[in-house]
Structure formats: structure tokens, C-alpha cells
Amino acid sequence: MHQKTPEIYSVELSGTKDIVKTDKGDGKEKYRGLKNNCLELKKKNHKEEFQKELHLDDHKLSNRELEEKYGTDIIMGLSSTRAAELLARDGPNSLTPPKQTPEIVKFLKQMVGGFSILLWVGAFLCWIAYGIQYSSDKSASLNNVYLGCVLGLVVILTGIFAYYQEAKSTNIMSSFNKMIPQQALVIRDSEKKTIPSEQLVVGDIVEVKGGDQIPADIRVLSSQGCRVDNSSLTGESEPQPRSSEFTHENPLETKNICFYSTTCLEASTSPVGTVTGMVINTGDRTIIGHIASLASGVGNEKTPIAIEIEHFVHIVAGVAVSIGILFFIIAVSLKYQVLDSIIFLIGIIVANVPEGLLATVTVTLSLTAKRMAKKNCLVKNLEAVETLGSTSIICSDKTGTLTQNRMTVAHLWFDNQIFVADTSEDHSNQVFDQSSRTWASLSKIITLCNRAEFKPGQENVPIMKKAVIGDASETALLKFSEVILGDVMEIRKRNRKVAEIPFNSTNKFQLSIHETDDPHGKRFLMVMKGAPERILEKCSTIMINGEEHPLDKSTAKTFHTAYMELGGLGERVLGFCHLYLPADEFPETYSFDIDAMNFPTSNLCFVGLLSMIDPPRSTVPDAVTKCRSAGIKVIMVTGDHPITAKAIAKSVGIISANSETVEDIAHRLNIAVEQVNKRDAKAAVVTGMELKDMSSEQLDEILANYQEIVFARTSPQQKLIIVEGCQRQDAVVAVTGDGVNDSPALKKADIGIAMGIAGSDAAKNAADMVLLDDNFASIVTGVEEGRLIFDNLKKTIAYTLTKNIAELCPFLIYIIVGLPLPIGTITILFIDLGTDIIPSIALAYEKAESDIMNRKPRHKNKDRLVNQPLAVYSYLHIGLMQALGAFLVYFTVYAQEGFLPRTLINLRVEWEKDYVNDLEDSYGQEWTRYQREYLEWTGYTAFFVGILVQQIADLIIRKTRRNSIFQQGLFRNKVIWVGITSQIIIGLILSYGLGSVTALSFTMLRAQYWFVAVPHAILIWAYDEVRKLFIRLYPGSWWDKNMYY
């Protein structure tokens, strides 16, 4: 890299508009990765097509050869018949969407995922049980059929819900399709025709105007002042000129090829810049088509939260199935009928499966997504909400993400001094010394030697936001001068332009001659700007403090120092000079002839340098610092040049002020790069070329060893490799980007974040999240929300799991001890899908317990959502307490009705006999079957109420995991109270409103039974407070390790 640096350096130094030409050194390699990848990807299906792409040499061919190759005529165009043939052969000029899973398959997938399969088993067992009952007794009760239907309904409803949520996230290909310009102007049968661009075929001659999108990959035949914006494809912010010349071996570097979907910029010249070209590739065979297939070829990674939920589902399903089978065996060996045992099995499954949880998680995530959307983070894939929280590496694109994607004047050099210009978004604060007369001259040159103009009709738009006709650097200069000097157009009017030589790559300067508004003498002023070394060559004097001084060696040296310094900042430097033409030689009537050059272009007066950069967004440095303190590594991955990349990285803090790269150390110690101890360097700048030669082990080493890394000159494929490298480090990787070239990496990343304003549609669609305000700082908000939601999901799950034991115990005890069934399966569903839903969602509104932005991101394999302490504490501590409390209510009700607990033991068989209608209780009273059934339902209701009351306590204790509830504030989260109220109201409605609907098996419970479990609830709260107290008192102790979830 060290050896390469000077060459790249020269790229920057050589000035304004010729980067492509001087880029030979690395340009060839720039897209190799992409090509290789295309090869891999297309190997199976599109081998021939790819061969063609590899051997793309159309840029080398002459017009004649092209005509031959494509059987077309540059003047006449294709014949319609030939075009139709080609269209039939090659297909329409559009990108084929990737094979989509049919909607019905997606829907069915939701029906069998997660707990669904368990519930289906339950439902089918219900129906089978009914079938068996029915075959032996025609009057068998339909209860089992109802239960089976309810279970099926639960699965279908949650499935529909999940499907709906998934369907909302859009598909990547739709975006690529959207980029296609609707119409194209094509010459066919020697007539100009407007046809839909889908119908373009290879060999068509098309005309593209400024402002249009390029309709296909085209070989430029002729062009007028055309520039294309390739930034979405390559990450270069500068517009690339396009002409018919063959300038580069690499088809991606040469000037005479325009790429599908890039934009032809509006030129400042009139008539508007146009390009005539021959279509050489259409549809999927275009470069963008290759990137598109690259992006869609990347499988969507499972999000960390999806993995966590899967893990959780496995745990719960494991528990459910093993307990179910265990008790099935126990029941059978206790001589229960197999049919009964099956019904127990169903009960156990239903009790164990938190039916409402997955829906709750979805709602919770979408609530957070909504909250984030308010903060300008639009979340497309719900699960991505959490992913950002567990992100440990952010790979950020530079252009448009970290930077404003707009050239801006950053430094000035005049009077032997470097001045800093304000590069913030509004330029409001220009503090450099404007009193010097040199500045007066310089500002005049900047104003006059500039062809950019504001578009009309923008009087009320702030200067920095005005649209400009002109290229990026001229725009930068125009806005810069407008901010400082005021009305530039007025100044230009007063200094009428009499002659002009526009910039071209051979001259490397731009020159114009103006009348002046100088009252002292009617002299012409010649102003010139261009590549600094070229400008300096033409100068013999230099202006210092308004005085002209001869340009000697020492001044030339200071010039070079300044030039190198600014260049080293990754900035594009322009030199400015002027000359007042003597009035006697050039009288007012003098006619300037730009072709004859009848005016001097040497011995000018050098005035100063201006350097421009695409400056970082002002919010970025702060956001990077915050990410750092949150333990997130920020890596820059850009297609731009290493020097620029490094400069921006330094200015935003991706490379911190005091850290050095190996090259920096070598430079400082003045030794060879090889001699530097690599461990001394904290930062690294790696280019695409170096990356290409690296094995994945070497990449891993770099990723692991350096804290601050910048990848420059990377291709889309290499971005993918980098993301994969990070993922090999077990990191959760976020990728931010805006260009088409970022879309494969965005897709590959655990979470892709696209820019909403600057971002291309492809990037937005490949991404999981869109930053609507393009503000990198929004990522910090996202991280915070993501971490919070992870914590809160833990709480929700702990809350939900707790009651499972209280729902399960009744069945176990029913089987073993033979009590009348304490709670029915339907009643359980009413808890899981009724009373508990709103409270568990309410936990999503809980505030963070401590500063979550100061801790490290969770390790995706170690910090699980559902870990052992959580399961143990929920199931065996609170869950068992809750079961006890609920049984207390149950026994109370039965005792008050006449059945003392001892009587109940092994009463089950007699109890359930339909023909026993005078069963004696503890007091000698006699009960009919229906009375008993009614009492059983009252028991269900009592048990339900017992769980409900204790779930309120459970909800309150789950507000925090470590802090005391009183530290957290009992009333800070109002939604919790909404949850509690809803719980009680739903409970009341079920008991008193639906108490007479026998199918639901609820009864009107006497009011005092609601309070039986209250002391138990208080006990639960107290118990949990003690747990939290010990966790806080003895961090790191056995208690902390086993009781903190």
C-alpha cells in the first residue's frame, strides 16, 4: 500500500476532472471482485451470458466494427423486424425478479412454524379422541371437537397475523424494476421513436438527454457535455464525463460506456447534454443486472432475534413434549384409559405452549418500530428492530452516509496561509480572515470563473439547498461564494463575460475574460482555475496581501507544501490565478478569439488554492463516539480512494485522533513499512487491491486485530466479503449504504441500513431499515431501542412463562392425586390469549434500568434471550409459587362449597361419573353430576382468578430485572397500569359477563374469592424484591449468576 500511495496521491493532486484517466493503477482491479462473483453466481444458469460479459470489448471497437457486430446501422438504427427478433431472443430489457416463494407457501410456513405444529398435534389429538369416543358412544360430548377447533383457530389466527407482518416487508427486486426509465428515444427504421424501454434490444441506437436514466448498458457513439452519476454504482461522488473515446481497457472504467440505471446529469451548457449510444447489453446482462442478481443471490440471514425466538421455542416445545410424554406414560401406567391419557396430553401441551407469546413479540417489535419511525428510522423488517441492538460492528459506506454527498469548500490557501472553511450543512459560520485584499481577488475569480448557475425560481430556498445547474465542484464554489459574497449573479452581470474557454481534460484549466466594474480603469480581467500545478506553471507572480510578488523557489515551495497538505486531507485542490490585461493592448473593443488564443495565458498572477471535499455530516462524529462507547466497532467501507476515505474517517472519528496506521508509523519513524511492528498500529486502511490478494484468514486477522479499519476502493463483491468476514468473528453486522453497489452487502448484513433521501431504491429495498433523514445519528437511537427491546422481551417472556407452571400443575396433580380438574384447557387459552396479552405488551414500554448505551453489545451465542436462570426462575420459583396460590383459591372454593381438600383426593373417578347424582361431600350433602360440573367450572374460574391476581404481581416484578421496583418507579410506565386494568376487566367480563355461557366454563365467582390469592401475590413481589436486593448487593456471586436473567 505504501508504494501505491503516491500514485493515488497523484490522483488527488492532479485536480479536478480527470480522475478516471489517472486511475489506471488500481482501476483495473476495482471491479475484479464483482466480475469474479458474477462468474460464481452465474456459473450454473447463465454461463454463456457471462462469457459475453467477460469478453465485453465493445468499448474497444470502432463504430464500424460495432455496426457489424450487432448488425445495426448507426444512422438508420435497427429495423423493426430485426428488433422484434432480438426481443424474442433476449427477452425484454428488464430485470427478472428472483424466484419468489408462492404466497401460499409463505402462508403455510407460518402455519407450521414455531409452536403451531405442537398446537396442531393437540388439535388433531382432540379430534381423534372425539372419534374414539364417538365410535363407542354416539352421544359423546362435543367438548373435544370444540377444543380442537379452538386450537386450530388459534394457530390460524396467529399464522395470519405473522403472515401479514411478513408480507409488509417488500421484495428487493421490485426496486430494481422501478429504476427502469419508462420511455426511451430510439432510432429504428431511420426514424426516431419513443418506445417503452423494456423493448430495447441489443444494437438499438438510443438518445439520452440530461436528467434521464440510462435505459440499458450503452456504448457511447457521440456525446455533448454528458456526465453520468455513477455514485450509486461505484461510490464515487464526482460525476463522470462520458464521450465516445475509448479511454480504458476496463469496460467499467472507460468513458465510452454508460451503465443501465445510472443518471445522465443535466449539463450546464445548452443545449442540454445528450448522448447517442448503441445498446450493448439489456436486462439481466447489464452490470446492474449482475449486481441485482448478486444481491438477490445473497440469502437473507436469520436475524438474531429470530434465532433467539427459535431457541426459546425449542426450549418450551422440549419441555412441553417431554412432560407430555412422561405424564402420558405415567397416566397409562396408572391404569388410566389411553383416551383419557391423550386428553391429559393435550392439556399439558396447551398449558405449556404460550400461545399468545409470538403475537405479543410481533406487536412489541412493531410498537418499537413505530417509535423508531417517529425518530426517522423506518424499519422494514420487524425483527431488525432488535438486531440493531445486538450489533457489534457497523460497516458504513462513506459517500452519502457519513458524508453529505456534496462537494464543499473545505480549505483555502492564500497569503501563505491555510484557512479553514465551514463545511457544516448550512455553511453558516465562515470564520476565516476576509479582510485581505488577496481574498478580494480570489473571491472574484471564484465568482467569475464559474459556469454553474442556480436554477430559477428558488428565491426562498436556503442557499445550500438550492438546486444548481453545473458540476459538483462548480456548484460547491458557487454556493461558497453566494454565502460569503451575496448575489453572485449580480456580480457576474457587473463583470460581463467576453470570452471563455471551458474546462477540458487536455487543458486542465478553465478560463474566462471579463469586463470589470473597476471604476479606475476599463481593463479586462482574465480569470483562470484548474489543476494547481498547471495553474502554477502559467504564473510568474503570486499575490500576497494584495501585492504581487515574483514567484521564486521559496514561494513555490510553500505552495507545494500547502498543496500536499490539502491533498493529504483527501481534498480536491483547485488553483486560481488572474491577470488584468493591460488596457492599451486590449482596448474595450478588442475581440477575443478563443481558438486563436489572441491573449496571454502565461505570466499570470497566482492568487490562491481552494480545496473541496465531500464533508462529513455534522452529526456523524458524535454518533460514532456514541457507538464506540456502546462497544460497537465502526468500520468504513467505501468505493472511494483511500486518502479521501482516511481523511473522512479521521474527521468523523472512525480513526481516532491519536491512532496511527502502519503507514503512519513508518512515515513518522521514517522506516520501511515492513519494519513496523503491526501491533503498534491501532488503525488500518485496506484497499480493494490488497483485499483481493488476502485469504479469508488474513482478513479475519485484520478485522480482529485492528480497532479502527477503513476499507477503500472496494467493489460490491468485496463489501460482501468484508461483511462475511465480520460475521465470522461472531459479530452481528450492520451495514449502512446508499448505492446500488451497497445492496448485496446490505442484504448480506444482519441488518442493512439504507439512506432514505440519498439512497437508491435498490439499497432501500435490500435494507432492513431506512434512515429517513439520512442521519447516521439515528442509528444510535436504533441501537438504544434495539437493546431496550431485547431487555423488555426478556421481561415479557419471563412474565409469560411464569404462568405456564401454574397452568401445568393442575393437570399433573389431576393425574397423580385425582382431584377434580382444577382448570380447563379453554380457561387456559383465555389466560394465554385473553388476560395476559395486553400486560405482556405493556412491558415493551418499560424504560431502561441502567444506561444501556454504556454496555457492550450482547454476544449472540452467549447472551441468550431465554437463558437458564430465566427459565428456572420463571418456572420453578415464581411459577411454583403462583401454582400454590392458585391451588389455594381452588381449595378455598371447594372447601366452602363442602368439599374439604382431603375429600377431594382420588375423588376424580366418582366425580366424573355421569350416573352418580348423589355424590356425598365432606358434610354429607349430596351432589348431582351437573352440580359437580358447575362446581368444577367454579373451580376453573377460581383457579383462573388465582392466576390472574398473581400475574398482576408477576407483571409488576417483571418491570425490572435488577433494580428495585421502587427505583424504577411504580407509576412511570403508565401502560403497565393499562395492562393491569385490562387484565382485571377481562377477568370480570369472563366471570360475570360470560359466566352463563356454559361452553366457556366460567361461572360467576363470589367476590371474596378474588382476594384469596392477594397475599400470595404480595409474597411473590416481596420474594422478587429480595432476589433483586441480593443481586445488587453481591454482584458476581453465585446468587447473581443464577438468579439474574
Partner 1 sequence: MRRQLRSRRAPSFPYSYRYRLDDPDEANQNYLADEEEEAEEEARVTVVPKSEEEEEEEEKGEEEEEEKEEEEGQGQPTGNAWWQKLQIMSEYLWDPERRMFLARTGQSWRVMIRPFAHSLNFNFNVSEPDTWQHYVISLNGFLQGYNDSLQEEMNVDCPPGQYFIQDGNEDEDKKACQFKRSFLKNCSGLEDPTFGYSTGQPCILLKMNRIVGFRPELGDPVKVSCKVQRGDENDIRSISYYPESASFDLRYYPYYGKLTHVNYTSPLVAMHFTDVVKNQAVPVQCQLKGKGVINDVINDRFVGRVIFTLNIET
Based on the shown chain and the rule CB under 8 A, indicate whether residue 98 belongs to the binding site for partner 1.
no
- Is residue 88 part of the contact set for partner 1 (CB under 8 A)? no
CA max distance for the chain: 135
Selected from 117, 558, 1014, 1032, the binder of partner 1 by CB under 8 A is 1014
Q: Does residue number 1015 form part of the binding site for partner 1 (CB under 8 A)?
A: yes
Which residue, 368 or 991, has its beta carbon nearer to partner 1?
991
- Shorter beta-carbon distance to partner 1: residue 684 or 1017: 1017
Does 897 interact with partner 1 (rule: CB under 8 A)? yes
The values of phi and psi at residue 521, to 5°, are: -160, 140
Contacting range for partner 1; rule: CB under 8 A; set: 273-281, 661-669, 739-747, 1008-1016: 1008-1016
Q: Given the C-alpha cell 488500481, which residue does it identify? A: 26
CB within 8 Å of 205: residues ≥ 6 apart? 72, 74, 77, 78, 186, 187, 221, 276, 277, 278, 279
Distance CA 592, CA 407 (A): 33
Of residues 852 and 888, the one with the C-beta less far from partner 1: 888
Q: Which stretch binds partner 1 (CB under 8 A): 404-412, 627-635, 671-679, 1006-1014?
A: 1006-1014
Find the catalytic residue in 397, 422, 742, 791.
397
The residue from 153, 564, 704, 1004 that contacts partner 1 (CB under 8 A) is 1004
Q: Least separation, in Å, of the C-beta of 780 and partner 1?
A: 48
Residue 1024 CB, nearest distance to partner 1 (Å)? 17
**What are the grid coordinates assigned to 1007, written together?**
367476590
462 interacts with partner 1 by CB under 8 A: no
The residue among 311 and 929 lying less far from partner 1, judged by its C-beta, is 929
Distance CA 618, CA 402 (A): 9
How far is the C-alpha of 442 from the C-alpha of 535, rounded, in Å? 14
Least Å distance between CB 724 and partner 1? Answer: 58
DSSP annotation string for 312-348? HHHHHHHHHHHHHHHHHHHHHHTT--HHHHHHHHHHH
Segment contacting partner 1 by CB under 8 A, of 490-498, 560-568, 748-756, 1005-1013: 1005-1013
Residue closer to partner 1, measured from CB, 981 or 998: 998
> Distance (Å, rounded) from C-alpha 860 to C-alpha 731?
8
Least distance (Å) from partner 1 to the CB of residue 892?
A: 6
Span near partner 1 by CB under 8 A; candidates 153-161, 643-651, 672-680, 996-1004: 996-1004
- Name 781's Cβ contacts closer than 8 Å, sequence gap at least 6: 372, 375, 377
Taking the least distance from each CB to partner 1, the nearer of 484 and 1012 is 1012
Which helix H or strand E contains 275, and what residues bound it?
strand 274-281
Given candidates 194, 504, 928, 981, which one binds partner 1 under the rule CB under 8 A?
928
Selected binder of partner 1 within 35, 578, 794, 1016 (CB under 8 A): 1016
Would you tell me how many other CB atoms lie within 10 Å of the CB of residue 545?
11
Segment holding 368, helix H or strand E: helix 357-374
Residue 552 binds partner 1 (CB under 8 A): no
Give the three cell numbers for residue 115.
409452536
The least distance separating partner 1 from the CB of residue 1015, rounded to whole angstroms, comes to 4
Task: Answer yes or no: are the C-beta atoms of 949 and 1014 closer than 8 Å.
Answer: yes
- What element of type H or E holds 89? helix 80-90
Starting at the earlier edge strand, list the strands of the sheet with 274-281. 191-196, 183-188, 205-209, 274-281, 217-224, 257-258
Question: Nine-digit cell at 124?
Answer: 388433531
Q: Which of 163, 892, 975, 1021 binds partner 1 (CB under 8 A)?
A: 892
Binding mask 929-948 for partner 1 (x = CB under 8 A): xxx--xx--x----------
Q: Is 1013 in the site for partner 1 (CB under 8 A)?
A: yes
Lookup: cell for 884: 400454590
* Ranges assigned E (strand) in 315-437: 377-379, 393-396, 408-414, 417-420
Q: Whose Cβ is closer to partner 1: residue 422's or residue 954's?
A: 954
Contact status: 850 vs partner 1 (CB under 8 A):
no
Residue 327 or residue 911: which is nearer to partner 1 going by CB? Answer: 911
996 binds partner 1 (CB under 8 A): yes
Nearer to partner 1, 869 or 901 (CB): 901
Least distance from partner 1 to the Cβ atom of residue 943, Å: 15
989 binds partner 1 (CB under 8 A): no
Stretch that binds partner 1, among 468-476, 609-617, 803-811, 1014-1022 (CB under 8 A): 1014-1022
How many residues touch partner 1 under the rule CB under 8 A: the total is 42
Tell me how far, at minimum, the Cβ of 873 lies from partner 1, in Å: 20
Report the alpha-carbon distance of residue 748 to residue 724 in Å, rounded: 8
Interaction between residue 1012 and partner 1 (CB under 8 A): yes
Residue 983 C-beta: closest distance to partner 1, Å: 20
Q: Which residues contact 6 (CB under 8 A, 6 or more apart)?
A: none
Nearer to partner 1, 113 or 818 (CB): 818
What are the distances in angstroms from CA 48 to CA 43, 44, 94, 277, 474?
9, 10, 19, 24, 44
Residues near 244 by Cβ (< 8 Å), separated by ≥ 6? 220, 221, 222, 223, 256
Closer residue to partner 1 (CB): 149 or 895: 895
Is residue 36 within 8 Å of 717, Cβ to Cβ?
A: yes
Does 1020 contact partner 1 by CB under 8 A?
no
Q: Could you say which of 463, 895, 965, 988 contacts partner 1 (CB under 8 A)?
A: 895
- Does an H or E element contain 837, and which? helix 837-842
The answer to the question of residue 896 lying near partner 1 (CB under 8 A) is yes
Does residue 900 touch partner 1 according to CB under 8 A?
yes
Among 307, 673, 888, 994, binds partner 1 (CB under 8 A): 888
C-alpha span between 912 and 821 (Å, rounded): 10
Dihedral sign from CA coordinates of 482, 485, 486, 490: negative
Q: Output the smallest distance, CB 107 to partner 1, in A.
A: 41
Which residue from 762, 751, 836, 735 is spatially nearest to 785, judged by alpha carbons?
A: 751
The answer to whether 791 is a known catalytic residue is: no
Residue among 1022, 1002, 771 nearest 881 (CA)? 1022
- Please say which residue, 235 or 939, places its beta carbon nearer to partner 1: 939
Residues that bind partner 1 (CB under 8 A): 884-885, 888, 892, 895-898, 900-902, 915, 917-918, 920, 922-931, 934-935, 938, 996, 998, 1003-1004, 1006-1008, 1011-1016, 1019
The residues annotated as belonging to the active site are: 397
